[in-house]
A and B are shown apart, each in its own frame.
Chain A
Amino acid sequence: MKTVEYRHGPVWVIAEQIEGRVRAVSFQLIGHARKLADGLGTPVEVILLGESLDQQAQQVIASGADRVYLGDDPELAVYQPDVYTEIIVKLAQERRPEIMLLGSTFMGRELAPLVAARLRTGLTAHCIDLVLNENKILEQKVPAYGGLISITCPQKRPQMATVAKGVFPRPELDTGRMGEVVLLKVQKNIPRRIETIEIVREEPEGVPLESAAIIVAGGAGASDLEGWHTIAGLAQVMNAALGSTRPAVDEGWTELETMIGQSGKMVSPDLYIGVGLSGELQHMVGIVGAKVMVAINSDAKSPVFEQVDYGIVDDCRRFIPVLIEKIGEYRSEGRELNHGNQDER
């Protein structure tokens, strides 16, 4: 057996599974971990905790992992904070990873700081990019104050970050890839001070944001609940998913689940229509690769207009009802709006 000495510890991804299936964000992170690991000349190791995950472990390898630490036990089937933390911390103390990545999911948002504090290391929230600098230190990019800041963790290891789904692409599966699956012995007597007794899944109403082809997003400019309903009405006639900015959530017009951006959802619609929002970077980084972007804002000088393809300066509470009416007319007139000779595409 040959042993290889690495200058850096491995790059880790803490994978997340729901009902025995590894989540998309975990695969995306493995894809990116591969790049970072190649930059460091070190392996990618994935920690996968759950039950009956043999098949999934193979997919994890095919996505770019060199080694999967698999905890396969009925007790791990759902996220149990104490048990998960203990397993990850113990293994991290042994393997000394250079980098540890988790998805910005509800689980990741709790588990990451639990692990980071135990390891007394730094943790960066909701990164929109992760790159190695010339000193092989991880630059963790986060939008702030109208620009991008880079956060680093120069001394402590691992360098930890959470990343939302959709920031990195899903890697191509390479079923020929070789990798090793290491079964973790699951310690039975980890004291539990928290117990998950039930997980209730609620399917969100309407078109899901992440897979929507059209998104209408509303912001503080909705002004009140009535204004918000007007924007929601546009989403409905456009067969669009309804997204939001943080003020709309703070005002209680909509749920946190609809928030797009750095600390919310990453979306990639074909068409994005932003209504009554200012184009703040923390929101805009959540929109990845939209083909067409439109903004409706009452302030002609709003920075949102520098980030879209079509801009309309108007009070959205007055403009949207007219737009909805005109869409109705357009549809009933068989797509012949103003007698121009547009060719159908």
Chain B
Amino acid sequence: MLRIVVCVKAVPDPKEAGRIRIDPVSRALVRADLPLVLNPLDKNAMEAALELKEQFDAHLSVLSMGPPPAESVVTECLALGADQGYLLSDRALAGADAYATAYTLAKGIEKIGPADLVLCGRASSDGSTEWVGPELATLLDIPIVTMVKEIVECTGEWWKVKASLDNGYRVVRVKLPAVLTVTRELNIPRTLSFSGIIQARRKQITQWGIDDLDVPEEAVGLKGSPTIVSEMTTRESKRDVEMISGTREEMAERLIQELADAGFLSSS
């Protein structure tokens, strides 16, 4: 049986995330208690896993690292059809950068048991580094393909996928076990069904802390992170705006005149 692990992240709702600000004086994060949601690209990873599960009768585990409220996104994945849910949660895990996150997830995957396929979204909407997938693969010592937009062949030991490149794509053969990070183009994620939500209630979420993972405190969270945020500055804009007012037609004409004067409307 194909064993799949999907790594998911609970992120502040991207539609509201612009409201998170750093207070320039206190340097504290000012966030208006944003609800946590499933990272958008992780939905594509979940969808890919669910389609494979339907095709191969795979076993699908969902793994997340986050504070206790992140349990809600694991529950959501269970409702979508995952078989098992794991949440790595511990105060010592807080403040992890991509490397410490990948390290912790790798420990979680090792504890869950050998996976044939690990799926991640290409990036999270809040951190947006794209590093966790590749670093996780490295720490598990298995190959990775990032930005997968199509799974072309998925039988046997070597799979074939298409992955995005600047101005094009590459066709790659990859040997399982492997990690794939996926893009939005890969599929259209399904929505939650009522029966899924009911079924999820019967599924247990396993919570592990650093003692369960058997990792030292220095290796995880802020302490295990090679990078630190050392400084914060606010940026001032340099432009003096001229607001154009009037009726819609007047505003359009004024703008056209300004653009024409600056030479931007010369060719048609």
Contact = CB atoms under 8 A, between A and B. Distances in A.
B264 A214 contact: yes
A337 B255 CA distance: 11
Contacts of B253: 326, 337-338
A199 B163 CA distance: 10
A112 B138 CA distance: 12
Nearest to A262: B128
Contact of A201 (B21, B29, B99, B167): B167
Interface residues of B, number: 84
A200 interface: yes
A153 B226 contact: yes
Contact of B233 (A78, A81, A125, A147): A147
B142 interface: yes
Interface in A300-323: 305-314, 318-319, 322-323
Contact of B164 (A106, A126, A196, A331): A106
Contact of A312 (B20, B169, B255): B255
B129 A125 contact: yes
Interface stretch (B2-10, B59-67, B78-86, B243-251): B243-251
Contact of A117 (B14, B138, B178, B251): B138
Contact of B230 (A139, A196, A338): A139
Interface string A126-166: 10000000000001000111111111111110000000000
B239 A278 contact: no
B144 A150 contact: no
Interface of B: 14-15, 18, 20-22, 24, 29, 40, 97-99, 102, 123, 125, 128-131, 133-135, 137-139, 142-147, 160, 164-175, 178, 183-184, 225-235, 237, 239-245, 248-249, 251-253, 255-265, 267-268
Interface of A: 78-79, 81-82, 105-107, 109-110, 112-114, 116-118, 120-126, 139, 143-156, 193-204, 214, 238-239, 246-247, 249-250, 252, 256-257, 263, 270-271, 278, 280-281, 291-294, 305-314, 318-319, 322-323, 325-327, 330-331, 335, 337-338, 340, 342, 345
